[in-house]
Amino acid sequence: YAVELVNDSLYDWNVKLLKVDEDSALHNDLQILKEKEGTDFILLNFSFKDNFPFDPPFVRVVSPVLSGGYVLGGGAICMELLTKQGWSSAYSIESVIMQISATLVKGKARVQFGANKNQYSLTRAQQS
């Protein structure tokens, strides 16, 4: 994975998920996406509140549009680990990224080729 600050903000990160389980359908979809669009990663956005690490980050998929994998309609990721009840301040961001990758594969996430690329937004993700 690769991390990049959004507008130099420590509270807003873009994370490129560069690898998923090579035996998964999602991995195959990402290879097709690379051929079609030159992109072979899943772009995640992590938003941190002032009280992080005591509250979890809000994590959403920015692109590509996925179905399954516990990704909601607006791009939000539904995982107990990302809720106040399931969160522990002891979690490292690296372990959270690895857990998200595993959850996408376990939930059989697939790239939705031809989907509206504007389907995901922060507002829609927060509402979902």
Decide if 78 is catalytic: yes
Given the residues 3, 5, 18, 78, the one annotated as active site? 78
Q: Is 5 helix (H, G, I), strand (E, B) or coil?
A: strand
CA atoms within 13 A on the CB side of 116: 7
Q: Is the peptide bond before 56 cis (omega within 30 degrees of 0)?
A: no
57 burial via Cβ count (<10 Å: 0-12, 13-18, 19+): buried
Alpha helices in 38-121 (DSSP H): 93-106
What pairs with residue 105 in β-bridges?
Answer: none
Catalytic residues, which ones? 78
